[in-house]
Amino acid sequence: MVKAAVLGAGYMGSAITFPLSDNGVRINLWGTWLDDEIIDSCARAKHPKLKKKLSESVTLYYSDKLKDAVKNVDMIIIGVSSEGFLPVFNRLLDTLEQDPPIFTLTKGFIHGEKGVKRISEGAEALFRKKFPHRKFSWTSVGGPVKATELSNRVPTATVFGMNCPEIKKNIKFFSTGYYRVFTSDDVAGVELSSAFKNVYSIALGICDGLYQERSSGIYHNLRAFLFNQSIREMAFLVEMAGGKRETVFDFAGLGDLHVTSSSGRNRKFGEYIGMGVKADNAYENMLKDGEIAEGYSGLKNGIVWVDKLRDDSLKELPQLKMLRRVVCLNHDAGAELERYIANSGY
Amino acid sequence: MVKAAVLGAGYMGSAITFPLSDNGVRINLWGTWLDDEIIDSCARAKHPKLKKKLSESVTLYYSDKLKDAVKNVDMIIIGVSSEGFLPVFNRLLDTLEQDPPIFTLTKGFIHGEKGVKRISEGAEALFRKKFPHRKFSWTSVGGPVKATELSNRVPTATVFGMNCPEIKKNIKFFSTGYYRVFTSDDVAGVELSSAFKNVYSIALGICDGLYQERSSGIYHNLRAFLFNQSIREMAFLVEMAGGKRETVFDFAGLGDLHVTSSSGRNRKFGEYIGMGVKADNAYENMLKDGEIAEGYSGLKNGIVWVDKLRDDSLKELPQLKMLRRVVCLNHDAGAELERYIANSGY
């Protein structure tokens, strides 16, 4: 019997238990120190966010039982937020006795000692410091997956960005008739696509906030404009960072942006801003409802990261610049959007 | 003063008069033999489909006045449907005395003497037969443009696929603050993207027809799956036909598919099929309301065209195959979609 530990009992961590359990995998679901109430609720009845009972194959672990949760498992799946990644990963390294393959659902950037990094870069550095002679077997899981839909077994594509081909043998534990796995060897491309689609979804949200009422929902041309330019800029960013443009033009990039920009927390965050709410207030309001708009920190970290890559790169990224001015510097959304559009193309 | 003739007074032909007239261009809008009532209505009050009065710079011409409409113009813009293209283009060649640049908004394939062709291929062959020593200056206009939104000056991107760089000097007559023109030298890529986005939008519509009620609109993962696979297959098709993959990953392809699959006649046509209506009936019902689902003929012609390109090409196009089985062969949409999904990826 195959055993997996899932770290993080929020939306994504809990949702991935559905295809795993459908494949007969036994799952230890560990909640972080922020997840105690979720674990309580799952133990009593349903997962409070997914509104569903978890499978019988899931064993629940509170935050102080990490060591037990990861003991003798065949795979570790990390499903915490980008903010939670470093503390959880450091604790994991402290307790880990074997070196099972690690799959991460976390999207965004991390702030390490040496500044902003991709998650796998940060994780690998920490892993190698602790275990210089062990194998770092890593998969960044991306693609268009809303957790609530996955837990309802809606047909879903995902992409596994793997750092070595042997990981493929684990795909059969994830894949079901409704959860289809595509693969890529471009870990950087998958990770950056996942991080930046959260950022660019804010632009689509801003447009919704500005136009929804004014145009009674009739602004498909503008949404497509912003969607398309998001993909253009994500391709530029990924290529500049050593990833492949084609990764952006596939499930990790355009597929995932499609889901995230039509429905999701980052789109919602942008919508508030389009309606005139300041970014910090929008973020705090959503946080009170338990919703983290990861694209906000993604934008702030992303800009630091972009600046480091090349001096003049923001020139090639007019939509990211517009986002920076509106979201980070509180410039007027309507005026900035109009100016940005009028300076695009011919 | 610059003069342009626009042939076809339907949605797109009439909508393009808005940015042109905003640039001070004088426009002769010629209606085909199917457009007489539209011309009547425009002359009296409003354009009946766009629900808007046309600009004072627009002069209206009935179908028997083609010669007058195209006399001494600096540009010709063809805005008829793919079904109407050949008869209109042949009449145009019969009357044309100069050789102004031609811009076409028509999307799809044409049935010439030698079978199914891209529109520009067919047009060039006819042009060269008639005028062997004249210059064929051709632009296929693509990208995410819903006509009603363009006529309401919603910010819009378009792509001009041009067969020679000198055409660029005409862009200034089209481009406005809200209508932004991007350029490409990949005419085949732009044309095929425009034709196939109509076809693939049917797949998104089928999914809406099947899932809208069943899942209360909660199937974003599946929509993104189908959207993404559409782009994958369009890139394969365009590359196989000698176009560029990058054209599909930009406004002509993914941008236009974004608009067409979220709102439009081809999506609607697919939705009927997803709800159990046979394709011919769905097409006829829409036609009664004056709505042509061009993706239906696009699918039928497209499959003939694909088969000619390479023997086994449908193997690489599982979503197109699914469409063929459901739309052309009346197989059960739900069963076919499920089977197609379960055979994708790992």
Among A155, A245, A254, beta carbon nearest to B228: A254
- Give the nearest chain B residue to A171 (CA atoms): B346
- Provide the pLDDT confidence category of residue A308 given band limits of 50, 70 and 90: confident
Q: What pLDDT score does B207 carry?
A: 97
Q: Give the minimum alpha-carbon distance from B252 to chain A in angstroms, rounded to a whole number.
A: 10
Between CA A174 and CA A17 the distance in angstroms is 9
Q: How close, in Å, is residue A134 to chain B by CA atoms?
A: 28
Measure CB to CB from residue B224 to each of A225, A259, A346 and give the nearest one: A259
With 80 as the cut, is the pLDDT of residue A114 above it?
Answer: no
HEC string for B275-304: CCCCHHHHHHHHHHCCCCCHHHHHHHHHHH
- Note which residues in 173-232 of chain A have CB less than 8 A from chain B: 175, 177-178, 180-183, 211, 215, 218-225, 227-229, 231-232
Q: Do B149 and A220 touch (CB under 8 A)?
A: yes
The answer to whether residue B238 neighbours chain A at the CB level (below 8 Å) is no
Model confidence pLDDT, tens digit, residues A61-110: 999 999 999 999 999 999 999 889 999 999 999 998 888 999 999 988 88
Q: How confident is the model at residue A42 (pLDDT cuts 50, 70, 90)?
A: very high
pLDDT of A112 over the 90 cut: no
What single DSSP character describes residue B47? B
Question: What span, in angstroms and rounded, lies between the C-alpha atoms of B62 and B9?
Answer: 10
Q: Is A197 among the catalytic positions?
A: yes
- Beta carbons of B157 and A256 less than 8 Å apart: no
Contact criterion met (CB below 8 Å) for B24 and B2: yes
| Pairing mode, strands B156-162 and B179-184 | parallel
The pLDDT-based confidence of B154 (bands split at 50, 70, 90) is: very high
CB B305, CB B276: distance < 8 Å: no
Catalytic site residue from A107, A117, A146, A197 = A197
Give me the percent of chain B exceeding a pLDDT of 90.
84
pLDDT at B310: 78
Q: Tell me if chain B has a CB within 8 Å of the CB of A259.
A: yes
Query: Is the Cβ pair B180, A344 closer than 8 Å?
Result: yes
Q: What is the pTM of this model?
A: 0.95
Burial call A213-239: b when 16+ CB within 10 Å, e when fewer: eeeeebbbbbbbbbbbbbbbbbbbbbb
Q: Which residue has the tokens 């469409």?
A: B323
| pLDDT at position B94 over 90 | yes
Residue B119 clears pLDDT 90, i.e. is over it: yes
Q: pLDDT tens across A132-183, in order?
A: 999 999 999 999 999 999 999 999 999 999 999 999 999 999 999 999 999 9
User: CA-CA distances (angstroms) from residue B337 to A125, B317, B323, B333, B342?
Assistant: 44, 14, 9, 6, 9
Assess B172–A contact: CB distance below 8 Å, yes or no. yes
Using the Cβ of A150 and the Cβ atoms of chain B, whether some distance falls under 8 Å is answered with yes
* Residue B257, pLDDT above cutoff 90: yes
Residues 6+ apart with CB under 8 A from B219: A149, A154, A155, B207, B211
Q: Name chain B contacts of A157, Cβ cutoff 8 Å.
A: 221, 224-225, 228-229, 344-345
Q: ipTM score of the complex?
A: 0.96
Q: Between chains, do B171 and A221 touch, taking CB under 8 Å as contact?
A: no
- Is residue A156 within 8 angstroms of chain B, CB to CB? yes
Question: Per residue in B270-283, pLDDT tens?
Answer: 999 999 999 999 99
The predicted pLDDT at position B290 comes to 84
Contact yes or no for B129/B90 (Cβ under 8 A): no
Q: Which of B155, B168, B183 sits opposite A222 (nearest CB)?
A: B155
* pLDDT for res A251: 98
Note the pLDDT of residue B33: 94
Q: Which residues pair with B105 in a beta bridge?
A: none
Least reliable range by pLDDT among A118-132, A147-161, B140-154:
A118-132
Cα atoms in the Cβ-side hemisphere of radius 13 Å centred on B53: 5
- What are the φ and ψ backbone dihedral angles of B183, each rounded to 5 degrees? -120, 160
- What is the per-residue pLDDT across B36-81, written as a single tens digit (0 to 9) for each? 999 999 999 999 999 999 999 999 999 999 999 999 999 999 999 9
The one-character DSSP state at B105 is: -
Provide Rg for chain A, Cα atoms.
20
> Mean pLDDT throughout B288-297?
90
Residue A117 pLDDT class (50, 70, 90 cuts): confident
More confident residue, B40 or A212: B40
Interface probe, candidates B149, B228, B338, chain A, greatest A C-beta count within 10 A: B228
* Cα nearest neighbour of A207 on chain B: B155
% of chain A at pLDDT higher than 70: 100
- What pLDDT, on a 0 to 100 scale, did the predictor assign at position B194? 95
**Closest residue by Cα to residue A230 from A104, A340, A120:** A340
pLDDT tens by residue, A227-286: 999 999 999 999 999 999 999 999 999 999 999 999 999 999 999 999 999 999 999 999
